[in-house]
Every structure is written in structure tokens, then in C-alpha cells.
Amino acid sequence: MENQELTAIFGAGGAVSRAIKGFEPRAQQARMGAAVAHAVGEGEHLVVEAGTGVGKSLGYLIPAALWAARNQKKVIVATHTKALQAQLVKKDLPVVKAVLEELGLPLSYFLLMGSSNYLCLSRLDRAGKQAPELFDEEGIRAALEQLQAWIHEAESGSRAELPFAVPHHLWAEVCRDPDLCLGKKCPHKTACFYRKDVARAAKADIVVVNQHLFFAGMPLPAFNAVIFDEAHNLEEVAAAFLGFELTDRKVKRFLDDVFSPKSNRGLAHRLSRPPAHWVEDVKGAVAEIKHASKDFFYALTEKLELNVQPADRAKTRRVREAGLVPNVMQAPLLELSVLLSQAIGHSQSDMEEAEIKACLKRCLELAAQVNAFLECKEEACAYWVEVNDKKKKPEISLHMSPVDVSEDLRKELFGRNYPVVLTSATLAVDGSFGMLKSRVGLDQCNELLLDSPFDYTRQAGILVPQEMPDPAAEAAAYEAAVIDACVKVCGAVEGGIFLLFTSWLSLERAARALAGRVSGRLIFKQGEALPTKLIADFKHAGNGVLLATDTFWQGVDVPGQALACVVIARLPFTSPDTPLEETRQEWMTAKGQNFFVDYTLPKAVVKFRQGVGRLIRTKKDFGAIVILDPRVQTARYGGKFLRSIPRCARLGDFKALKAFFSARG
């Protein structure tokens, strides 16, 4: 597939090179641009994997922008992380705009955030009038006064724009809540920050949003094509919106918002003219639900033996049958919903009516979720209870999650009348998009697999130490060997090191062991600070050691020798004995699929590729990948992992690892 215009734009001396100082043309980027141009122009779906260094953002933005500007079309770009959103809007789209200006084409773009990111002027007014009712602390009232002064100079009214800190409790009372929005009845509708941004988005050619918000049904402007970047997260994001999580704390927060006997506050006390005896009736209903909630959650933990000591970080039990415990919450929740319905006709303002209706909606939603959990009737869904002891008081949560979203996405995303482009640096397994397509319900599409333009044989080395114990057969010996190997890596590598684990328990054990065995380096551990601060401090250290899991396997960009080595402690297989994975295995087996071959293995390969992808971020980078799981060489499936990453220089041992860096020193 070739597109002469895009070949010229991305080529030597082209518009991109004039817009970006030091730009180096990459054939892969032009090929991606041509494929995206064809997909959006012909209304066809496209899956494209673009390896690190291809420049995929411009690879899809430029052809999409050309199509939108020339045909009066609108393109939605949905990302998984806020970091990528910021990169697109602050770095990439200004380049795209400059490229189109050379062609005499205007381009507008906009970042539309979720409504809770925006200050609501009506709720701010209400908070100012009801501050004694809503807030105890002087500090919160002072922050409220700052907000009231700030609105006169605010541009977007977004929380990210704030020049001062706002406590979470205060922001929750003044941010936009779609259930409390007065719409055309709002006295501040012409000044509404969110309304203005939605209007700006409606006029833009390209609108950038978060994937979560895309599926949440936010009021997106009508669009003609959608591009999902970081599309390897698509299944997980969709599943989050098709399932639910209900905690005992969520129930308590709702009841406190209606009436809190501890503070004597809540909606029941704020209504101007409630019906006769209504307040006392509501207080009684709230008390009944509180007792019922305690009995309900306690009965669940007793029935599932989740209260057995010792306390773990989290304990889970799968629920397999309906009616596990009696639904003691249904009657009092229904009683409260009736009382809230009765109050609507007595509201004295639009805001009061909106508040009552919002509480009613939450009440009915809680009742529906409890009922759905106890019915346990969806075959393609997993149900489980979890007790989390990380906080002072254990939190009990009910979960429902679909194990298969393919039918929903087949109908609601790929079955619509607009083209969908899925892209990421890691979508394929062994050169095939089969796993991705089957999991997300994508039947017909164009495909493009682009390798990285980086010279991995020169820039990267890979070490798989010999004689590592098998993690499944010799768990204790393997864990000790991993710590020894990490110490050796610290001795061989001068730059920064990522130690990537697959469990918090392994991470914490390794952190304690390394603290006394590694000197001259700062050791960072995920969870000690916010991820952005942790990465900033790690970069600044230059030779830090960061122990991480989960989110740090992807989306983290540390170029240069601040990250010189990525250590993968264990192949990132999902735990097969969680309620979600157990249910998924049963579901897939019933469908005639092989759970390990068709799901577990390819999912692990994709995450493995994400971890390896943290290392080489520019043409000047060099570094090493150390894999401490011997199964990449001993297991029959090991070759899939090694074939999935670029070919690197093979290193025989830790001496060779040290020599690899010395030769480039």
C-alpha cells in the first residue's frame, strides 16, 4: 500500500522534517500513514502494530487529520493513559497542524476530559452557601474561598489547571456530576466550563479522549472515525464498563450523603421544605440499611470463610451459585427509594430536585447491583467477593466482570458505520493478530505489522542466566536466585535498572533483601509515591533501582542511561486460580477453546513485550534485558516469548553483561 503524498510528507525534506528539528525519516511511519489513510478513506477497520521508534502517533494523526480537514469529518483518538493524551495535544498535534498549514488546510483539535475533571459553578455556589453543613475543617473552607476567587481567571475550569491544591473531599462537592447537572435550567449555563469544552470539541476536527470515557458514554460529538491508541488495553477497559464493583464503603458513603448521624448532615437536613415526617422516615430508612448492610457483608464473609486469619493483602472467593445469602438490603433500599421519590415534588429549586434524583439513582443502582450479584445468572461473567486488609479497616467488595466482551464490541464498536483503527507497539503474538481479534470481536479488518527501526542487535543485549531454578517447581530456591541475580545486575550495570515483578509479595521480599546488599544507588519501590513522582525521581537519580509491578510494565518512558537495564523476574502469566481466570477458563473450555494456548500464553507474551519495550526508546539508547525465568528456554512455549521481541545481542553470563556496558562506556 502506497500513498505518494504521505511518502513525501514523511520523507527526507518533507513537511514533518521541517516541523521537527532533527527528524529522521522512517519507512515504517510512511507505510503506517498510508494504511490509516486507506482505512479511514474507505471506511474499513485496521489493526496496526508499530514497534518502538516508528513514530505511530504521527503515523496515524497526519493521515487522519488530512482526511478530516479535506472532507469535513471528525476523528476521535482514544488513549489509555493521560500521559499519552498530554503528548498528543502538547507535542504531536501542533506538528500535525503545521504540516497541514503548509498544504493550506486548517486543523483544529481538542482534549475533552471526563466531567469530574471540571469545576461546576452551580455546585460551587451551593458549596459556598452550605459550607458549614458540608465541611468541618478550616483548611477546606479556605480552599473553597480560593476556588471562588480562581473562577474569574480560570480558562478551562479543569482540576489540572488549578494553581493550588484542592482536598479530594472538597473537589467531590464542587466538580461536575452528570447526575446533578441542571442543563438548560442552570443559571450558569453560559459560563459553564464543561459546556464550553463540549462545544469546542464539537467544532474540532480531532478530539482526544480517554478510552474509559469513550466506553462510559460521555457526550462525545458526532464522529466519523475512531482511533484507539494503546489498543492492547481495549478488552480490559471494555470489561470494566460491562461489570461492576460494589464495596461496603460505597454503601456507607451513599448513606452518609443522605443522612449521617455522626455529623448530623446530609441531603435529609438540606432540603428546604420536605414532606411531613419525611426527615424522620429517611433517618429510619438509613439506619435500617446500615444494619442490613453490616449483616449482609458479614454474612458473605462468613459463608465464604473470608474472615479466617491471618490477614492477607487481599483474600478472594469465587461465587458460583445464586442466593448465597439472603438479600436483606433489598427491602430497606426500596423503602428509601420510595421516600426519595416522594421528596421530588417538594423540592424548592432545580438544584434540590437534581440532588434528590441523583440520590434516588444511586439508591436504585445499589439495589440492582446487590440483586444482580446474588442472582449470579450471567454465564459469561465471573462473580467474587474480596476482602482487602491494606487499610486500617478491611474493605469488603463484590465483583462482577464479563470474561468475554467480543460480542458486545462486535455489535457496539465494530458493527457501527464508522472505521475503527487499533494501534499499539504490542498487539501481535508470533506475528499474528488472531488473539486480539478474537478477544475484541473484530472479524473483518486490514492488518499491518511494522517492526522497530531501531538496531536492537547493536543497541541491546539479552541475558538469560543459566541454572536458574524453575519458579513453579522450586519456588523458594527460585526467589533466592532472583535476588542474587538482581544484586549481580546492580554490580554489572552502571545506569538505572528496572526490576519488574509479577506480584506485590515478590516485589516486597526483593526490596527488603536488596536494601542491605546494594550500595551506592537509590532504591525506589512502586507504591512509595505517585507513579509520576517515582519516575521523575528515578530519572533524576541516573543510576537508581526501581522495583515495580503491574502498570510499570507499560507506558513508562525513560530514555538514556537513566534506564540501562530491564530485569524481568518472571514471565507475566496471569494467576490461573483467581475467580476471574477460573471462570474464563470454564467459559472458553465450554466453547471448545484451549485456555492456555488461546488466552493465557498470548496475553503473557503481549505483557512481556511491553516490559521489554521500556528499554530502548531512542536511536541513541543502549541497554540490556535480563530474563530470570528459565522457562523461556526450557518450556515448549518459551520460544514464543523470545520470538516476540527484536533480535538482540546474546549475552552468556553476568561478566558478559558487564563487558557489554564497558564496551559502550
275 neighbors 284 (Cβ within 8 angstroms): no
Helix (H) or strand (E) holding 567: strand 565-568
Is 80 exceeded by the pLDDT of residue 332? yes
**How confident is the model at residue 576, as a pLDDT?**
87
Provide the terminal-to-terminal Cα distance of the chain, rounded to the nearest Å.
42
> Which residues, at least 6 apart from 250, have a Cβ–Cβ distance to it below 8 Å?
366
Is 70 exceeded by the pLDDT of residue 311? no
**How confident is the model at residue 665, as a pLDDT?**
64
600 neighbors 576 (Cβ within 8 angstroms): yes
**Strands (E) located in 106-253:** 109-111, 206-210, 225-228, 244-247
**How confident is the model at residue 551, as a pLDDT?**
81
The stretch 322-351 carries a mean pLDDT of: 95
Say how many residues make up the chain: 665
Q: How big is the CA angle at 333 (ends 332 and 335), to the nearest 5 degrees? A: 60
Sign of CA dihedral 58, 61, 65, 67: positive
Residue 124: count of CB within 10 angstroms of its CB: 20
What is the per-residue DSSP string for 331-366?
HHHHHHHHHHHHHHTT-SSHHHHHHHHHHHHHHHHH
In angstroms, rounded to a whole number, what is the distance separating the alpha carbons of residues 330 and 375? Answer: 13
pLDDT digits (tens, 9 = 90+) for 451-460: 999 999 999 9
User: For residue 500, which phi and psi values (nearest 5 degrees)?
Assistant: -100, 125
Task: Decide which of 10 and 140 is more confident.
Answer: 10
**Strands (E) located in 389-480:** 395-402, 420-424, 446-450, 460-463
Beta partners for 206? 75, 109
Is 80 exceeded by the pLDDT of residue 132? no
Of the candidates 228, 226, 221, the one whose C-alpha atom is nearest the C-alpha of residue 202 is 221
Is 70 exceeded by the pLDDT of residue 275? yes
DSSP state of 389: -
| Fold category of 239-402 in CATH | Four Helix Bundle (Hemerythrin (Met), subunit A) (1.20.120)
Strand pairing class (395-402; 381-388): antiparallel
Residue 326: count of CB within 10 angstroms of its CB: 12
69-78, 259-268, 313-322, 499-508, range with greatest mean pLDDT = 69-78
Cell, residue 379 = 454465564
Domain layout of the chain by residue ranges: 4-114+199-224+418-450, 239-402, 456-662
**How confident is the model at residue 198, as a pLDDT?**
92
In angstroms, rounded to a whole number, what is the distance separating the alpha carbons of residues 188 and 122? Answer: 7
DSSP state of 115: G
The stretch 541-548 carries a mean pLDDT of: 94
pLDDT digits (tens, 9 = 90+) for 74-120: 999 999 988 899 899 999 999 999 999 999 999 999 999 988 999 99
User: For residue 523, which phi and psi values (nearest 5 degrees)?
Assistant: -105, 125
Q: How far is CA 596 from CA 545, 559, 573, 600, 631, in A?
A: 33, 35, 10, 5, 15
Question: Within a 13 Å sphere around the CA of 207, how many CA atoms are in the beta-carbon half?
Answer: 29
Cell, residue 416 = 457501527
Look-up of cell digits 541497554: 623
Is 60 exceeded by the pLDDT of residue 1? no
What value does the CA radius of gyration of the chain take, rounded to a whole number of Å?
27
Cell, residue 410 = 462486535
User: For residue 114, which phi and psi values (nearest 5 degrees)?
Assistant: -65, 155
**How confident is the model at residue 218, as a pLDDT?**
63
pLDDT digits (tens, 9 = 90+) for 562-612: 999 999 999 999 988 899 999 999 999 999 999 999 999 999 999 999 999
Strand pairing class (206-210; 75-79): parallel
Say what percent of the chain tops pLDDT 90.
76
456-662 belongs to which homologous superfamily? P-loop containing nucleotide triphosphate hydrolases (3.40.50.300)
In angstroms, rounded to a whole number, what is the distance separating the alpha carbons of residues 6 and 458? Answer: 30
Is 90 exceeded by the pLDDT of residue 219? no
pLDDT digits (tens, 9 = 90+) for 341-392: 999 999 998 889 999 999 999 999 999 999 999 999 998 999 999 998 766 6
DSSP state of 641: H
Q: How big is the CA angle at 581 (ends 321 and 398), to the nearest 5 degrees? A: 50
Look-up of cell digits 546492580: 490
pLDDT digits (tens, 9 = 90+) for 20-64: 988 989 999 999 999 999 999 999 999 999 999 999 999 999 999
pLDDT band at 319; cut points 50, 70, 90: very high
> Which residues, at least 6 apart from 538, have a Cβ–Cβ distance to it below 8 Å?
496, 524, 544, 546, 558, 562, 563
pLDDT digits (tens, 9 = 90+) for 510-528: 999 998 898 889 999 998 9
Indicate if 239-402 has the same CATH topology as 4-114+199-224+418-450: no
Beta partners for 79? 210
DSSP state of 91: I
What is the residue type of 52?
Answer: T
**How confident is the model at residue 554, as a pLDDT?**
86
**How confident is the model at residue 74, as a pLDDT?**
97
Is 80 exceeded by the pLDDT of residue 137? no
The average confidence (pLDDT) of the chain is 92
Is 80 exceeded by the pLDDT of residue 313? no
Which CATH architecture describes the domain 4-114+199-224+418-450? 3-Layer(aba) Sandwich (3.40)
**Strands (E) located in 6-149:** 46-50, 75-79, 109-111
Is 90 exceeded by the pLDDT of residue 221? no
Task: Write down the number of H helices and E strands in the chain.
Answer: 30, 18
Cell, residue 527 = 507504591
**How confident is the model at residue 305, as a pLDDT?**
86
**Strands (E) located in 222-337:** 225-228, 244-247, 314-318
In angstroms, rounded to a whole number, what is the distance separating the alpha carbons of residues 619 and 622? Answer: 8
Q: In what order do the strands lie in the sheet with 225-228?
A: 109-111, 206-210, 75-79, 225-228, 420-424, 46-50, 446-450
Q: In what order do the strands lie in the sheet with 314-318?
A: 244-247, 395-402, 381-388, 314-318
Say what percent of the chain tops pLDDT 70.
98
